[in-house]
Amino acid sequence: MKKHFAVAIDGPSGAGKSTLAKRAAQRFGFVYVDTGAIYRTVGLFVFQEGIDPGDKEAVKECLSKIKLQLCYDERGQRMILNGEDVSERIREPQISMYASAVSAHGCVRDFLLDMQRKLAEDYDVVMDGRDIGTVVLPNASLKVFLTATSEDRARRRYEQLCEKGIGCTFEETLRDLKQRDENDSRRSLAPLKAADDAIVLDTTGDTESESFDKLEKLILERLKK
């Protein structure tokens, strides 16, 4: 069986992972997999059920009621939760917090692991998340850890939310981002961290094109090998 090419992009929220990963997938004809969207979909379900996302047993119980599907159309990756397209709803700031909280539970991570690995078995992928290089695809062809200062990341996230018409202030965005960094890095299971063999790209102060050029160069080098 041919081993597919896989680019693993990890890093904290707002580092530019999804923008760069999407562009790289387009440029090289790979499938873009946004794993944060998958965790967000579980977070949304837990929110809709009125469950405390920190209550491991309650979250575990509700997983059996979730049917997750990932599909692609001209808008990109879409998340289908029990038959309903929830791709827009999962972007709300409140759901970010639920996603971060539920992602700390081993039952949730196990529930989603096969789905992510299967995509990389079937296609060449650019997959972004928090643990792609460390846990999901430890044999990825290229691992990149994207980072930037929290202020820079909050500014980008704030601009994205404003563009989508989601009301919030810069201060709230920065506070939420720091809180999520803390949750995602401190958890005991698959915490946010660079894999030992990841290349760290700091995008602070870069334009999107500057960061993309760096990523493109790394992928081209790896494809030649």
156: contact with ligand DC by CB under 6 A: no
Min separation Cβ 155 and ligand DC, Å: 16
Please say which residue, 32 or 39, places its beta carbon nearer to ligand DC.
39
Helices of type H across 125-168: 150-163
| Cα–Cα distance, 117 to 137 (Å, whole number) | 7
- Of the candidates 209, 149, 110, which has an alpha carbon nearest to the alpha carbon of residue 11? 149
Q: What are phi and psi of 214, to 5 degrees?
A: -65, -45
Size (the chain), residues: 225
| Tally of CB atoms within 10 A around 4 | 15
Report if residue 35 touches ligand DC, rule: CB under 6 A: yes
Nearer to ligand DC, 122 or 182 (CB): 182
Q: Is 87 in the site for ligand DC (CB under 6 A)?
A: no
- CA dihedral (23, 24, 30, 35) positive or negative: negative
Contact status: 16 vs ligand DC (CB under 6 A): no
- From CA 215, how far away is CA 213, in angstroms rounded? 5
> Applying CB under 6 A, does 103 fall inside the site for ligand DC?
yes
Q: Identify which of residues 2 and 114 has a Cβ nearer to ligand DC in the complex.
A: 114
Place of tokens 């290089």: 133
Instruction: State the nearest-atom distance from the C-beta of 69 to ligand DC, in Å.
Output: 18
> Closest separation between CB of residue 174 and ligand DC, Å?
15
Please check whether residue 130 is in contact with residue 116, taking contact to mean a CB–CB distance below 8 angstroms: no
44 binds ligand DC (CB under 6 A): no
Backbone φ and ψ for 147, nearest 5 degrees, come out as -145, 170
Candidates 124, 144, 180, 212: give the one binding ligand DC (CB under 6 A).
180
Toward ligand DC, which CB reaches closer, 99 or 148?
99
99 is a contact residue toward ligand DC (CB under 6 A): yes
Residues that bind ligand DC (CB under 6 A): 13, 35-36, 39-40, 96, 99-100, 103, 129-132, 180, 184
